[in-house]
Amino acid sequence: MKRARIALITVWTGTLLLMLAQPVSAASTSAELIYDLNERLLIVALPITLLVEGILIYAVLKFRNNDDPKPTEENRRLEITWTIATAIVLLFVGFAAFEVMADPQVSSMADEEPPDDAVVIEVEGDDAWQWHFRYQNEYEGVEMTNEMYLPEDEEVYLQVTAENWLHMVHIPDLGVKQQAQPGVVHTVSTTPTETGSYQGYCTEYCGAGHSGMLFETHVVTGEEFEETMDEELAEAEEDDDTGEEDDDTGGEDTE
C-alpha cells in the first residue's frame, strides 16, 4: 500500500509540474489558436490519464500476490457511465478541434478573396527547391527569393502554389502550414504578433533538394515593413528601366 501511495504521489507531482510549466509564447494569432487548443485538450487528458494510471498501479500492487483470482462481475451501471463519459469527452475534443481547424487563420480559406487593401503574398515552390514570394496589391512588383517580410499586428494572406510538384509551406513559430499544389492556389491568413526572424521549411518530401528548401520569415514593425517595400519597389523599377534601356540599345545596334 505504501508503494501505491508513493507511485500516485509521483504521478500527481509530475502532472502539477507540467501544468505549472510556462507555455511557449505564440508569435502569431494562428499559433495562439493552436497552442490554446493543445492546452485545452491537455487539461481534459490529464485527469483521465491520472485516473487510469492510478487504477492500474493500485490494481497491480494490491493483487500482485493473489493466487486465486476471481472473474470480474458484470456491472451495467459502470459500463453505461464510462460509455457516456467517453462520448462526452470525444464530443468536446471534436468540437474544440473543429472550431480551430475551421478557422481561416489555421486552414485554407474556401472561396474567399482577401480584401483589396490587405497584404497579399503569392508563395510558390519551384522545381529548383526555392521559395518565391511575390507581393500583390499596392506592393505589386516586389519579389523575394527564400525570404519574406511581414508587418507586425497586421493580417496577411499567403496564396500558396507550386510549379510542377508538391511542396509544403511550414513556419512552425507562426503556426502556418499549407500544402503547395501545382495549378491550385490555397489561401491562408495569419497575423504576426511578435517581431523577429522565423525559419520556414518545406515539410513534404519533394526530391533531392528537399532538405535545403528553407526560407526566412522576418516579422518587422509597420514602419520597417513600409521602408522595406519602398526599397524593393524602387529596386524593381530600376531593374525595369535598365532592361528597357538595354532593349533600346540592342535595337539601335541592330539597325
Residue 234 in any domain: the answer is yes
pLDDT band at 255 (very low <50, low <70, confident <90, very high): very low
Average pLDDT, the chain: 85
Going by C-beta distance under 8 Å and a sequence separation of 6 or more, which residues neighbour residue 53? 11
Range of the domain at 84: 2-64+77-101
Residues 202 and 176 in one domain: yes
Asked whether residue 130 falls in the same domain as residue 201, the answer is yes
Same domain membership, residue 216 and residue 130 = yes
Give tens-digit pLDDT for 124-168. 999 999 999 999 988 999 999 999 999 999 999 999 999 999 999
Residue found under cell 472561396: 111
Burial of 122: CB neighbours in 10 Å, binned 0-12, 13-18, 19+: middle
As a whole number of angstroms, the distance between CA 71 and CA 88 comes to: 30
For the entire predicted model, the pTM comes to: 0.76
pLDDT over 70 (residue 99): yes
Number of structural domains found in the chain: 2
